[in-house]
Structure 1
């Protein structure tokens, strides 16, 4: 059975479409209208090695928050659909990723339960990257977790500059996601018998 999904989310603030293929690497360049966010979505696709296509529009004339959060929500919905009953997946993934002075650590559990522990919000991260801050990244990941049924822990071991923090976290998230969705058996990865 193909592990694919296509989800569109349309609100008064955004219109986002995510197409996802968990077993195919080809993807399209993201096109949301926010340059740095598109760069991060490109990093997500490249480092996860998943077939991810994201396009959309949002009320960027106000602020990028709605676009970024709704993209996370839509990606989470697509992942949940593509995983189906989650039978055979590795379930867990983790990665450390450096970017110059920054070191990010991300741990992911596709448990069916939503939780985000986002350490950078408690630290003195400064600046933004093209109008995107670490708070926007948090909302992207929160939307993803809530709709994918994922537990995600994001730690920042070094670094405080927003561009490097956001990029290191996004790449670590991508690598953890790649590992977690991998099919490694034919059993459900739970002692409870369900996720």
Structure 2
């Protein structure tokens, strides 16, 4: 199990992660909707995840959400690299009522994010008091700090809650598949290192 403590002037975060866990999430970021999304991620990735975050939410949620993404990415990187004996690539599409979101992941130690919600139009607005543009900020932070290439795109959807929840679940499913043990894979790269 990996553990990280990250303290800045904006947030204080303590987090731990077990990659091959049971999908148990103990999340307290003081942002209810975000807690719900991280619990869904934990459940569907089968990663045990504990995050306790105290942030400057009186300003807005940006710092807490981005910093939780940084910490999650760092924990994943610490637990995965050097890559060996896993599938490496994973994808998954998750439906939630009218919404369908697909995620593709390459655990390659090269950070990149494609976040395409363009079929929704201008991907702005709120779910309760949660600014939906922060979803992209979270995944940018995860991808950059984990060293993942991640493509997330909305195939269809109208309800913002459904779209965002399908996004977190699709990421979880794709990651779970990419992390699937495969001893025959050795180091899954023609370069011989990831």
Q: So what's the TM-score if we normalise by structure 2? A: 0.93
Contact 2:23 2:45 in 1 (8 A): no
Contact 1:134 1:165 in 2 (8 A): no
Of the candidates 34, 42, 47, which is equivalent to residue 44 of structure 2?
A: 47
Deviation at 1:38, TM superposition (A): 0.3
Matched, 1:152 2:150: yes
Alignment partner, residue 179 of structure 1:
177
Deviation at 1:54, TM superposition (A): 1.3
Alignment partner, residue 106 of structure 1:
103
Q: What SS does structure 2 have at the residue aligned with 1:168? A: helix
- Please report the RMSD computed on the Cα atoms of aligned residues, expressed in angstroms: 1.5
Alignment partner, residue 65 of structure 1:
62
CA distance in 2, matches of 1:172, 1:48: 9
CA distance in 2, matches of 1:63, 1:188: 42
Deviation at 1:164, TM superposition (A): 1.4
Alignment partner, residue 77 of structure 1:
74
CA distance in 1, matches of 2:177, 2:129: 30
Higher alpha-carbon deviation: 66-75 or 123-132: 123-132
CA distance in 1, matches of 2:90, 2:22: 18
Matched, 1:162 2:163: no
CA distance in 2, matches of 1:131, 1:94: 30
Contact 2:41 2:172 in 1 (8 A): yes
Contact 2:66 2:138 in 1 (8 A): yes
CA distance in 1, matches of 2:114, 2:158: 18
Report the CA distance shift for 1:28/1:97 in structure 2 as closer, same or farther (over 3 A). Answer: closer
Task: Specify every segment of 5 or more residues in structure 2 that has no aligned partner in the other structure, as ranges.
Answer: none
CA distance in 1, matches of 2:17, 2:189: 24
Report the CA distance shift for 1:124/1:177 in structure 2 as closer, same or farther (over 3 A). Answer: same
Alignment partner, residue 139 of structure 2:
141
Deviation at 1:93, TM superposition (A): 1.0
Alignment partner, residue 190 of structure 1:
189
Higher alpha-carbon deviation: 104-113 or 84-93: 84-93
Deviation at 1:121, TM superposition (A): 5.9
Report the CA distance shift for 1:19/1:121 in structure 2 as closer, same or farther (over 3 A). Answer: farther
Contact 1:126 1:161 in 2 (8 A): no
Q: So what's the TM-score if we normalise by structure 1? A: 0.93
